[in-house]
Structure formats: structure tokens, C-alpha cells
């Protein structure tokens, strides 16, 4: 979803035209409201990203991975290992590691294969330099929630009744999406080249 699309929907929900955005105070309100909404939505609909670590099994010491070196790292979720087993590429559960201080991963020596680290990514906040063509970082299924929740934050001071309507609609759609979303299950892929 483009920033211009989000902004235009928020304007429509507030029954305003784009002239409002000529005012610096409203620009700041839009920026802050969208960022608050992204932060709130990211809690229910996290941006799950992956990072691969290739290991050859020759290490004599623990492999240390500083997760905060990943530019959009928010928090660790899980790890799997991809390796060849009996001539087949397989993704298996992986537990031969420790997480220290929520940000440092220590992988046991002699591990061979590609460790796939799953982590919650951070959204890219809207700033004063965000252009209309900027793609907003949000989980695809939650895109339609963003203008509703942002409108709640933005228009709350102007019209509390109207903003409450948008918040209620946000909650209804959010609950519907969550009800239709299957909980994450452990998975194993076998086969391949």
C-alpha cells in the first residue's frame, strides 16, 4: 500500500480534502497517527522476515550472530535448519542454539547447513521525507486496517464520535481477519533438488 493511498483514505474518512495537509500541524498529526497505527497493527500482524546463516560444520567454537546487525530486526521468533539428508534438501526443526539478551544468537560448533532465522521485522516509520510513492511496510492482510486506525488517532481531537466509529470498524475488521487466520504451526519440508 502506497503512502499516498493511506493518506487519501484517511482524508476521506475525515471528510477533508488535501488542503488540510498544507498545514504543518496536520502533516505532523498524519505522520504520528500513521506511525502509531503501524506500531499497534504490527503487534497483531507482525512482519516476519528471514535471515540465512551458512555453516560448514568445521567451527571449533560457537558461532556468534549479533541479531541487531540486521537492520530491521525487532525480536527473534524461531530457527530452522536446511540441510541435505539422504540426498534430499530438507528443512528441519533446529534447537542447537542459545539466545542471549534477546539479541545474540550462539550456534553450537560443528553445525553444518543453512540456519534460517525467523524474526519480527520493524516497520519503516513515516517521516517528513516520506514520498507519495513510498510503500508502507505492513503485513498484506492488515493493509486495510491502517487507514481506519490512523484515522482514529488523527481525527480524535476534531470529532470523537467519528473517530470512535473508525476505531470500532477497525476492531471489527481486525477480529474478522484474526478469526480467519490460522495459527502458525511447526512445519517441515522434505524433498527438492
Is the pLDDT assigned to residue 191 strictly greater than 80? no
Q: What is the pLDDT of residue 183?
A: 63
Q: How confident is the model at residue 159 (pLDDT cuts 50, 70, 90)?
A: confident
Q: What is the pLDDT of residues 28-69, one digit of tens each?
A: 999 999 999 999 999 999 999 999 999 998 888 999 999 999
For the ranges 14-23, 40-49, 157-166, 180-189, the one whose mean pLDDT is highest: 40-49
Q: Which of 75-89, 140-154, 178-192 has the lowest mean pLDDT?
A: 178-192
pLDDT (mean) for 110-115: 92
pLDDT (mean) for 12-18: 84
Is the pLDDT assigned to residue 99 strictly greater than 90? yes
Angle (CA) 179 147 43, round 5°: 50
Phi and psi (nearest 5°) for 157? -75, -30
pLDDT (mean) for 19-31: 86
Distant-in-sequence, close-in-space partners of 51: CB < 8 Å, separation ≥ 6? 70, 116, 117, 119
Phi and psi (nearest 5°) for 90? -135, 145
Is the pLDDT assigned to residue 187 strictly greater than 50? no
pTM: 0.78
Domain locations along the chain: 3-45+138-180, 47-121
Amino acid at each position: 500500500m502506497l503512502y499516498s493511498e493511506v493518506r487519501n483514505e484517511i482524508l476521506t474518512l475525515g471528510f477533508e480534502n488535501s488542503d488540510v495537509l498544507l498545514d504543518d500541524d496536520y502533516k505532523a498529526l498524519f505522520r504520528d497517527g500513521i506511525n502509531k497505527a503501524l506500531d499497534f497493527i504490527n503487534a497483531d500482524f507482525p512482519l516476519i522476515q528471514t535471515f540465512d546463516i551458512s555453516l560448514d560444520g568445521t567451527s571449533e567454537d560457537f558461532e556468534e550472530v549479533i541479531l541487531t546487525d540486521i537492520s530491521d530486526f525487532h525480536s527473534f521468533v524461531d530457527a530452522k535448519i536446511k540441510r541435505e539428508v539422504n540426498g534430499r534438501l530438507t528443512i528441519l526443526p533446529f534447537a542447537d542454539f542459545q539466545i542471549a539478551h534477546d539479541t545474540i544468537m550462539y550456534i553450537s560448533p560443528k553445525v553444518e547447513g543453512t540456519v534460517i532465522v525467523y524474526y519480527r521485522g520493524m516497520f519503516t516509520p513515516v517521516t517528513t521525507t516520506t514520498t507519495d510513492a513510498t510503500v508502507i511496510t505492513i503485513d498484506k492482510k492488515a493493509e486495510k486496517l491502517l487507514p481506519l486506525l490512523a484515522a482514529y488517532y488523527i481525527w480524535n481531537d476534531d470529532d470523537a464520535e467519528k473517530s470512535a466509529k473508525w476505531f470500532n470498524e477497525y476492531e471489527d475488521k481486525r477480529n474478522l481477519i484474526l478469526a480467519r487466520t490460522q495459527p502458525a504451526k511447526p512445519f517441515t519440508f522434505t524433498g527438492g533438488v
